[in-house]
Structure 1
Amino acid sequence: MSTAGKVIKCKAAVLWELKKPFSIEEVEVAPPKAHEVRIKMVATGICRSDDHVVNGFLVTRLPVILGHEAAGIVESVGEGVTTVRPGDKVIPLFVPQCGKCNICKHPEANLCLKHDLNEPQGTLNDGTCRFTCRGKPIRHFLGTSTFSQYTVVDEMSVAKIHADSPLEKVCLIGCGFSTGYGSAVKVAKVTQGSTCAVFGLGGVGLSVIMGCKAAGAARIIAVDINKDKFARAKQVGATECINPQDYEKPIEEVLREVSGGGVDFSFEVIGRLDTMMSALLCCQEAYGVSIIVGVPPNAQNISMNPMLLLTGRTWKGAVFGGFKSKESVPKLVTDFMAKKFPLDQLITHVLPFEKINEGFDLLRSGKSVRTILTF
C-alpha cells in the first residue's frame, strides 16, 4: 500500500532538552512539498557534531531530531523533483548544493548559501518543519534529521548513489569520511613525500590520515591522548603515533623537533581552541599549512599573534572536506565501490537504532570510532 502523499507515523529519537538522553518517540512525518524528498532511513552514523548539540557546544532550536550522516531509500518525492525518484538509494546532504548561489558557482567553494549551519533555523528551505510529536512541531537538524525512520529533505540536500552500494557503510560518506578525506586531498592539497600531523583520531581524524596516505605523504604523525586509538591509526596509514601526555614540553615543540623544523601539513580534528593553536604552531613557519576540521565550541575566540602567519604559514578551514556535496558524494561512493578506499576500518560498532543512547555513551567514553545505527 503506497504511503506517497500521506503522513507517515514512525519512530524517531527526539532531543527535548540539552544534556539529556534521546527519547524514542512516535512522530508524524508529513509528505514532501514541492522540491522535497521523503527518505526511508537504512543506516545512520553517530558523529561528534551531534553530541556537540546535546551538550550545548553547537546551538540549535529544540525540540529537535538530530543526525546528519546517513543513507536510505527514497520513499516519495514532491512536485518538481527531477534528480531522484522513489526506490533510489540516496545520501542526505547536511551541506546542500543549490547550484545557483555565488558559492555554488565558485569552482573552489562548497558552503552553499542555503546551508543551516551558522544560525540554525531548524527548518527546511521554506521555513517550516515536517515533523510533529505530541502535537508539537519538531525541528530539523542541518536539513537532514537522520535519527528518524523517515525524514524529509530539500532536493538540493540529497544525492542519488550507486544502486548496489552497501548503505550501512557508505552512510559515512555523508559526513565523517568525506570531511576528513577531503580536508587532506582537496582543502590542504597534501603533496607527495610530505610530512603531516593529525590531531584527533576519531572517525574524521582517521579519514584525514587516509587522505594524507592517498595523496602520497611520506610521514603521517597521529596525535591523541587515547593510546587505544593508535593501532587503528596505523592500520589506515599513520607512520607514527604520539601521546602529548608522554612529554613535559608542548606538543607543538615535540612535533617541530621530530619533523626537523615543522610539519608540512597539520590537521586539527578535535574542536578545541588549544589544539587548534598547537596544530598551527607545529607547522613549518615559512610554508606550513594548517587545516581546522573540528567544530569549535560556540562563541569562543582565539587570540593569536599575526606574526605566526606573516612568516608564510597558511591557516584555513573547510566544511565537508571542501567537496561540493551533490556532485561529489555520488563520485565518492563510486570510488568506494571501486575499492579506492576502505570504510570498514572506521566502523567499530553497529547497533539497532533504538540503542542510540548506548551509541552516544560509546562515543563519549572513547570506546568507539564510528557507531552505525541500523533501522
Structure 2
Amino acid sequence: MKITGAVLEEIGRPRPYAESKPITVCELELDPPGPGEVLVRMEAAGICHSDLSVVNGNRPRPVPMLLGHEAAGIVEQLGDGVDDIEVGQRVVMAFLPRCGKCKNCLTDGKLPCIPGTAANTAGRLLTGGERLHRNGQKVFHHLGVSGFATHAVVDRRSIVPVGSDIPPQVAAVLGCAVLTGGGAVINAGAPADGDTVAVVGLGGVGMAALITALSLGKGDVIGVDALPDKLKRATELGASAVYTPQEAIDAGVKAPVVVEAAGHPRAFETAVKLTDVGGITVTVGLPAPGADATISPLGLTAEARTIMGSYLGSAVPARDIPTYAQLWREGKLPVDALISSIITLDEINSAMDALADGKAVRQVILFDA
C-alpha cells in the first residue's frame, strides 16, 4: 500500500534543519503484515530526543530511515498467527520489542532484549527484514516502529493495547516519555514513603519523571533545569521546589532519589552531587558517545550512595504502559501537560530545531483520521 512518511535521508546535516532539510516527507510503499505482524494506522506521534539523536549523528543508524518511535494508532490488519488483538484496537508502540525468551528479557526490565536491540540497531523488525520501500529501494525502520507515517507494519511484540478512552496524543506519549521517565522513578528509583525525588533535566522524559513522582505522593518532588520556562512549567505541574543546577548545589539540595534525564555529562555530575547519603542516582538520559563526566568516588563509598543506569526506564512495556494509562484515567498522571504543541508531519524539520534548542517538551504530530 502507498503511505506518506518522514524519511531521514542523511545523518549530520547542519543546523538549522528547517534549511538543510535532512528529513523528507514523501510517498513510500508498505508491504502487508507478515506472520506475527500488524498493520497500524497512525493517529499520533511524539518527537523525542531519540529521533534527534539519529538526525544529528549521536546515534548512527542506517539510512534512508523512516523515523519515529513514540506513537499510537489503530490496528487495521493482522498477520498470520496474531490472535490476541482485534482490528479497531488502539495500540501504543513499544520502541524496544521484547522476545520474552532471551536472558536479558528475564531481568524484569533491567536489561534490553538482545534480539530486539539487534533488530533496532539494524533498522529491521523483530520478525526480520524491512517492510518499507521507495523507488524500488528498501527504507529502514526506526526502533521497530517508524511512526512518522500514516501507516506502519510492526511486530506484534512492538505494540501494547490500550483502551479507546485514552486519547491518541496521550497514548503516544505513554510509549516513550512516560515509559522511560516514569520507569526511571518507579522501576529504578523506587522511592519509599517520605522520600524526596529530584529530577535533573526537564525535557519530555524528565517532565514525565516529575509528574510520575508527583502521582506516587511519596514526598516532595524537586525540578532542576537551566531553562526558566521549564522550571515555571514544573512549578505549575506541582513541583515542591525548582532550581537551576547551580542554585540547587548552592542551596545544598539533597534527595534520596535523584533522576538524571538530560543525557548530558554536566547534568549527570549535578545529579550525583544532589544525591543524599545512602541515596540513589538514576541516570536515564542518553549522552553522546564519548561524553565524559567527573565524580568523586570517595563520596560514593563514604556516603554509601548508588549510581544506577536505567535503560529506557527499566521498562517492560506490556506491564508498564497499562499502569500509566490507569494513572491517567484516575487523574493522577497529567500526561496531557507534557504536550507543548501539536504539529503536522510537514513541520518535522522545524520541530527537530525546536527540540535541539530546548524549546519543546513534547511536540506531537496528529494524523488525519
Q: Same fold (TM over 0.5)?
A: yes
Tell me the percent identity: 33
Aligned residue pairs: how many?
358
- Secondary structure at the residue paired with 1:321? helix
More helix by share: 2
Distance in 1 of aligned mates of 2:122 and 2:271: 32
Q: Deviations over 1:106-142 (max 9, x none)?
A: 3463522232379711111243111111221111111
Q: Deviations over 1:7-65 (max 9, x none)?
A: x1111000001135210010111111111111110000011111111111112111111
- Secondary structure at the residue paired with 1:56? coil
Q: Is 1:263 matched with 2:255?
A: yes
Aligned to 1:185: 186
Distance in 2 of aligned mates of 1:50 and 1:71: 16
Contact 1:116 1:122 in 2 (8 A): no
Distance in 2 of aligned mates of 1:163 and 1:42: 12
Change (3 A) 1:141 1:108: closer
Please tell me the residue identity of whatever aligns with 1:134: N
Matches within 5 A, 1:92-111: 92-107=93-108, 109=110, 111=112
- Secondary structure at the residue paired with 1:41? strand
Aligned to 1:5: none
Aligned to 1:9: 2
TM-score, normalisation: structure 1: 0.89
**What's the CA shift for 1:331?**
3.4
Contact 1:157 1:326 in 2 (8 A): no
Change (3 A) 1:169 1:138: same
**What's the CA shift for 1:72?**
0.2
Distance in 2 of aligned mates of 1:226 and 1:374: 27
Change (3 A) 1:341 1:244: closer
Aligned to 1:294: 285
Which of these residues, 233, 245, 250, is aligned with residue 254 of structure 1?
250
Change (3 A) 1:308 1:119: farther
Distance in 1 of aligned mates of 2:55 and 2:105: 31
- Secondary structure at the residue paired with 1:139? strand
- Secondary structure at the residue paired with 2:114? coil
Aligned-residue Cα RMSD (Å) equals: 2.1
Aligned to 1:345: 337
Gaps of 5+ in 2: 14-19
**What's the CA shift for 1:335?**
3.1
Distance in 2 of aligned mates of 1:300 and 1:206: 23
Matches within 5 A, 1:205-216: 205-216=206-217
Q: Is 1:56 matched with 2:61?
A: no
Gaps of 5+ in 1: 1-7
- Secondary structure at the residue paired with 2:266? helix
Change (3 A) 1:110 1:215: farther
Distance in 2 of aligned mates of 1:139 and 1:272: 28
Contact 1:83 1:155 in 2 (8 A): no
- Secondary structure at the residue paired with 2:6? strand
Change (3 A) 1:47 1:119: closer
Distance in 1 of aligned mates of 2:260 and 2:222: 12
Please tell me the residue identity of whatever aligns with 1:56: G
Aligned to 2:41: 40
